Structure formats: C-alpha cells, structure tokens
Structure 1
C-alpha cells in the first residue's frame, strides 16, 4: 500500500509540490510558534532548511523546535526530494522497449490473422 501511494505521488508533480508547500507552511507556523518568531521568519527558516542551505541566521533554540527541525529536515531530504527526482527521471527516461502505436497496430493485425487461421483449422 505504501509503495503504491509513493508511486502515485511520484507520478504527479502537482501533488509533490502541494505536499512540499504544505510542509513548508506547517514548518513555518511550527517554528514561529515554538521559537516565538514571526511567520515570515519561520517561512525563511523552513525554506532554508528544506533546501538544505542552512545559513544559520535562524536556528531553533528550544528542544521542541529542534525536534521539529529534525523531523522536517528528514521529511524533505528523504521524502520530498526523492519524489521530485523520481518524477524528473520518469519524464526524462524513455523506455526503448515500449511499442509505438504503429507497432501495436501491426501486432494486433498479426494476431488477428493467426486467430483467423486457427479458427479455419478448427472447422
């Protein structure tokens, strides 16, 4: 079930970006509440942390804020970034083993001829 969910999400860039933006907003609110900062400071911290830049100008000082930072940092690195990379790879890698429409039509016609011949033999 988890694998199917991850594949479903990885195939939809809009869904990945929605999860990413929602997580940024959630982290920004969490940071601002736990660290007594403004929402814009929290958003700055969330973006810098999500992008793994880590300027260090804003850091969590409370234990709760640090725990939240660890959780969100791992979420972005191990969930969001791999899904974005997977989505890019899915769209860039061309499967050389896929049949073109013309090849599929040719196979269908050949199959029809074989079925017709088998049907004639059975008579």
Structure 2
C-alpha cells in the first residue's frame, strides 16, 4: 500500500500525496521524535504502533485546521449561511477522518491496517 499515491478528499479541499508514508510524515512531521520520546518513557517498541496511530489521528485534525482554515471557512459560509458557522465547523471536522477522507489511487478508502502497516515499518526502521 505504501507505494501508491493517496488523496485527501474533503468538501473544501483535495490534496494528493506520493504515498501513504509521505502522507503520514506530512500530517505528523514530528513522528520520529514523538516515537523516540515514547521509547525514552519506557514504552516498548512493540506497543508504539497503536499509540502512534492514535496520535496520527489527532494530528490529522490539526493538519486540516492548520492548512485549510480559509477553505473551510469559505465552504461553511457558502453552504451554511443561515446557521451558526462555528457549530457547523465542529460538526464537519468531527466527520473528517484519515480512514473516511483518504483514498488510494484507485479510490478505495484507506483502513486502519494500511496506516498501521506503514507505522510498523517506520518504527522498525527507527534509529535509536
């Protein structure tokens, strides 16, 4: 899976990434330092996969807000002019996820194991 292009698709933005590992590293640029910090805290390397995936999901929301705030606001203004924009923003952001909004080059939605496989490889190659 890591060799094929992936796309982020939301109602307000579309962005392509060369592969899933590239996507992970752009969404979570401090992944390696985060993993090293977890190991320093005593977390076993074998347990890092799930922890890193949860943190990736959190960073994904931050990535959307940081990189697409203007587009998100414009979309909400155009689509929901008569309702509370901040409330709609929260609802919309709560529906965006790395499994629902990221697809491979064939249009298939990525699943948890796609990310976990790549994270496992990143963790295995981590230089300590």
Q: Same fold (TM over 0.5)?
A: no
TM-score, scaled to structure 1:
0.35
- In proportion to residue count, which structure has more helix? 1
- In proportion to residue count, which structure has more strand? 2
Larger RCO (CA within 8 A; separation ≥ 6): 2
Bigger radius of gyration: 1
